[in-house]
């Protein structure tokens, strides 16, 4: 087990004050950034504020992510309340996010095709795609993929406009209520931008299109790009192992080793609310964001040599994208689109281990 019982209890301590503080801080900065993006007289100031607003939507979503795991505060009702508010600027129905993230991604991490977060295809699977789908897959696996992947594959298909298949055959009442809540709030905000732009509320020289661009389009595009980037880095690396055989996955995989610890330069990891300390989160989803750094340190000490650490830079990122196109599930190696291996041959087979059932159960809390 990655953590002792004592460590799990210690790291899983939750604070209502701490959770509310993170929510309020992110929410206040988001509102301030949007306000300046709408009212600033110079387009450069508008653009910078709009970019910051997109970043704050992402950070606020991390707070909602913890609330969805019931790890943000000790109170379920407060987690559900803060979770719905925190994921609202990202236009995410809270209950559908829990379905996609807790009950699918955390339950089937790195098992193709059950886990659908940046899941790689084998060469045979790729060659069997239609030309449009093959083009889309190549786009996703290029440097430009982060700009469109999450928006198309998750927000449209699974979060905001899910098919019956995506909701496992049943549109639960809570899903419909959450979709209605997000839709009403989102449309009301757009109406506010339109009316405000036409009436000159924000600035006498700004048009309606100016308000929509800097108040909605750019922040939402930044949020989607940030989400694509983060989940790509969490589950893509030449050393990261994926499976397509459920028996093998049950026997050999480990939640603690199913993700990558990404280290950004400078203070970016704390600014991102330590979501890049992702191994500790997968090992114990009950650990709140404000204990992840310490938990990750303990995990890497106890699992020495088993945790993948990736120090991000633009050049390292481009190399990662170049190498991680397709995956050989039998050889456990990444390939390019011609079928050439781009990752080293494993020196030994992964050590058999039982999946951390406690972590899975914690991530699958279905109470909304």
Give the tens place of pLDDT for each residue, 272-293. Answer: 999 999 999 999 999 999 999 9
The rounded distance, in Å, linking the Cα atoms of 11 and 287 is 6
User: What residues contact residue 101 under an 8 Å CB cut-off, 6+ apart?
Assistant: 65, 68
Q: What count of residues does the chain have?
A: 368
pLDDT at 346: 79
Among residues of the chain, what percentage have pLDDT more than 90?
88
With beta carbons less than 8 A apart as the criterion, state whether 179 and 160 touch: yes
Name 341's bridge partners: 335
Q: What is the bridge-based pairing of β-strands 326-328 and 308-311?
A: unpaired
Q: Is the pLDDT of residue 366 over 60?
A: no
* C-alpha separations of 3 from 173, 255, 256, 278, 291 in Å: 37, 12, 10, 15, 14
Element (H, E) at 328: strand 326-328
pLDDT at 348: 53
What's the mean per-residue pLDDT of the chain? 93
Torsion angle defined by CA atoms of residues 275, 278, 283 and 287, in that order, rounded to the nearest 10 degrees: -20
Q: What is the pTM of this model?
A: 0.91
* C-alpha separations of 110 from 7, 154, 260, 313, 329 in Å: 26, 17, 12, 24, 11
If DSSP codes are grouped into helix, strand and coil, which group holds residue 238?
Answer: coil
With beta carbons less than 8 A apart as the criterion, state whether 261 and 304 touch: no
Structure tokens at 38: 């709408």
> ∠ CA 296-301-302 to the nearest 5 degrees?
100
User: Which one-letter DSSP state was computed for residue 152?
Assistant: I
Tens of pLDDT along 78-134?
999 999 999 999 999 999 999 999 999 999 999 999 999 999 999 999 999 999 999
The rounded distance, in Å, linking the Cα atoms of 105 and 111 is 9
The strand ranges marked E within the chain are 260-263, 308-311, 326-328, 333-335
If DSSP codes are grouped into helix, strand and coil, which group holds residue 309?
Answer: strand
The rounded distance, in Å, linking the Cα atoms of 21 and 26 is 9
Q: How far is CA 350 from the centre of its chain?
A: 27
């Amino acid at each position: 087990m990655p953590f002792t019982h004592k460590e799990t209890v210690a790291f899983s301590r939750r604070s209502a004050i701490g959770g509310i503080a993170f929510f309020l801080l992110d929410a206040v900065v988001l509102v301030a950034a949007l306000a300046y993006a709408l009212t600033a007289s110079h387009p450069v100031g508008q653009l910078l504020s709009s970019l910051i607003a997109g970043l704050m939507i992402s950070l606020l979503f991390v707070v909602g992510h913890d609330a969805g795991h019931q790890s943000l505060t000790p109170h379920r009702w407060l987690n559900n309340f803060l979770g719905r508010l925190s994921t609202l600027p990202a236009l995410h129905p809270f209950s559908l996010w829990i379905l996609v993230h807790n009950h699918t991604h955390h339950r089937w991490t790195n098992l193709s095709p059950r886990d659908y977060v940046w899941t790689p295809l084998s060469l045979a699977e790729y060659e069997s795609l239609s030309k449009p789908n093959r083009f889309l897959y190549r786009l996703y696996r290029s440097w430009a993929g982060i700009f469109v992947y999450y928006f198309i594959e998750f927000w449209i298909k699974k979060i905001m406009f899910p098919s019956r298949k995506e909701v496992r055959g049943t549109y639960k009442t809570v899903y419909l209520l959450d979709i209605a809540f997000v839709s009403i709030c989102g449309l009301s905000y757009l109406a506010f931008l339109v009316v405000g732009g036409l009436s000159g509320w924000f600035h006498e020289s700004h048009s309606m299109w100016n308000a929509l661009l800097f108040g909605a389009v750019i922040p939402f595009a930044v949020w989607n790009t940030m989400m694509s980037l983060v989940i790509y880095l969490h589950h893509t690396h030449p050393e990261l192992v994926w499976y397509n055989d459920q028996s093998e996955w049950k026997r050999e995989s480990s939640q603690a080793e199913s993700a990558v610890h990404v280290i950004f330069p400078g203070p970016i990891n704390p600014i991102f609310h330590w979501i890049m300390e992702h191994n500790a989160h997968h090992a114990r989803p009950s650990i709140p964001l404000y204990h992840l750094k310490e938990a990750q340190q303990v995990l890497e000490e106890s699992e020495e040599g088993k945790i993948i650490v990736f120090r991000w830079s633009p050049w390292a990122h481009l190399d990662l994208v170049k190498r991680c196109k397709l995956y050989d599930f039998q050889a456990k190696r990444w390939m390019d689109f011609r079928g050439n291996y781009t990752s080293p041959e494993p020196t030994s087979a992964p050590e058999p281990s039982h999946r951390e059932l406690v972590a899975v159960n914690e991530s699958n809390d279905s109470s909304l």
